Structure 1
């Protein structure tokens, strides 16, 4: 068997179809979604970065969620938009593994960040007197370092084990590259990949999920013994995080279930929808939930919009006055 057949230079994404002129409509809609993701998350990042009153652990973690959304979207949308317009849907072997690494680290980063956000809320509600001594900026740096470095190492190991496999095919029944879809093409035994994959899934997915559930169980117990005013304030700060956590967990569960099923067992439309849900809904949901539900961020955003609108009106008024003055001078010369 030739080296190229064992290590194909390209993978073919087989779920793309020729929709004729409709491709331009799909392209426009997906481009609009991508621009919305970039704009919404950029607003959150700039708001937290520029407003000094938001330089607190909770808002720093929210900013990191938005940065991670931009990172994950950049690993999917540019290539996806090209594929919509293309007649051939081939992706080079190196770029396929890069896409796998980016998307998997995006998913893992999201869970670890949600985990440290749950810890932040746990300390703030259950141990309020120790919050400032525990959630120092040094601790925030350490938590964020762990939230980024561990997924980078875990996903790097997973991708490395897949890269070294000899492959007996190049067709992926997906609209994007996924690790298990590539592993299934292997000509040799993949027991090591399967075991390592399950261990890493346990540590990067299920442990953060269990930790979040554990922290919120304690928060509920504390709230049940507290006043209604305290419960209201706790709910106001925890509700956005709960909504984000539930949305992302559902999307991730669908993606994990999808990756383990045989291609012929699932309708192609379902595969496309679940793949897009995993990469579209959380990046849009995060800035909307935090931007609309947290009064601190909402207030700063609205205030900035009002100031920008006022400056624009002032600039337009001055420009109009200047034009009228120039016109007056010209007519009297």
Structure 2
């Protein structure tokens, strides 16, 4: 029986020998990372300097883009090093740190999308009372919750529950460190881990899902009972958010399926893609969705890129 503190490194077994193609894969991943960083930074700057975008919806969007940078930086530099490496190992402290980063990224992402759906619900269903209900203090509290809770809960999940586990191996069948796979290596009792996971699923995650479904049911009622102009306004403001929400949900679903079920019959590249989808497509797609679909952001981007003054 090996204690987790005695495991000095983990080996990532999902990598395979790509030969000369590893440099091509490196360039592809590097290009994706540069696109993610540049597009998200651009939209953060646009929202920050443009006073007309200092509204609740855009403040939550800015938080979303910051989270994309955080999650991408917890994955892509690691992937780039592993692609060029011949020995796919990672030290135990770095592995646990990556688990914390990626899980907290997912938590902040889901919380932000849920709060954004609540914000759209208030704006569409109670337009005359929106500014009274969505005050600056409320925005500050919601922003603090969507960042603080995922971080604190994952400190408990990773450093209190997972790190002390007694491990009987150090092989992780993924291209990055994952809490579920580390817990599977445990030869000690994981009942507390399983109970905490179920409690989190049926309280926080299910609660956020119920909130999102409720808000969109109310939004759809307003949409179908309103005028054509109302429907167009609802679609223009909700379509990017709904597309982002569905993209993240599909990615999380792919991750759960490929982790919990035996998909050894699938090609290795497809399994790697499914495990990376929720971490790569979301930060890459979100700037495109909001940058192109929301006219105020699109126009502000044009003004910034072409050197026109946009903050007055």
**Same fold by TM-score, threshold 0.5 exceeded?**
yes
The alignment yields a C-alpha RMSD, in angstroms, of 1.6
SS of 2:188's partner is: coil
Which residue is equivalent to 1:100?
Answer: 99
Which residue is equivalent to 2:167?
Answer: 167
Measured after TM superposition, the shift of residue 185 of structure 1 is: 0.5
Measured after TM superposition, the shift of residue 172 of structure 1 is: 0.3
The CA distance in 2 between the partners of 1:3 and 1:45, in whole Å, is 43
Tell me which moved more, 68-77 or 190-199. 190-199
Structure 2 runs not aligned, ≥5 long: none
Measured after TM superposition, the shift of residue 265 of structure 1 is: 6.5
TM score, norm. by length of structure 1 = 0.89
Which residue is equivalent to 1:76?
Answer: 75
Q: Does 1:139 align with 2:138?
A: yes
The CA distance in 2 between the partners of 1:207 and 1:243, in whole Å, is 20
Deviation string 1:87-127 (CA, Å, 9 cap, x unpaired) is 11111111111101100010110110011101110000101
TM score, norm. by length of structure 2 = 0.94
Describe how 1:1-333 pairs up with structure 2 within 5 A.
1=1, 7-159=6-158, 160-262=160-262, 264=264, 267-307=267-307
Q: 1:176 to 1:95 in 2, by over 3 A?
A: same
The CA distance in 1 between the partners of 2:299 and 2:251, in whole Å, is 30
Measured after TM superposition, the shift of residue 224 of structure 1 is: 1.6
Which residue is equivalent to 1:327?
Answer: none
**Matched length:** 307
SS of 2:306's partner is: helix
Moved over 4 A (4+): 1-4, 262-267
Structure 1 runs not aligned, ≥5 long: 309-333
Q: 1:151 to 1:3 in 2, by over 3 A?
A: closer
SS of 2:11's partner is: strand
Deviation string 1:37-68 (CA, Å, 9 cap, x unpaired) is 00010011000001111011000111111100
The CA distance in 1 between the partners of 2:204 and 2:252, in whole Å, is 12
The answer to whether the Cα contact below 8 Å between 2:2 and 2:168 also exists between their aligned partners in 1 is: no
Q: 1:136 to 1:168 in 2, by over 3 A?
A: same
The answer to whether the Cα contact below 8 Å between 2:3 and 2:164 also exists between their aligned partners in 1 is: no
The answer to whether the Cα contact below 8 Å between 2:43 and 2:65 also exists between their aligned partners in 1 is: yes
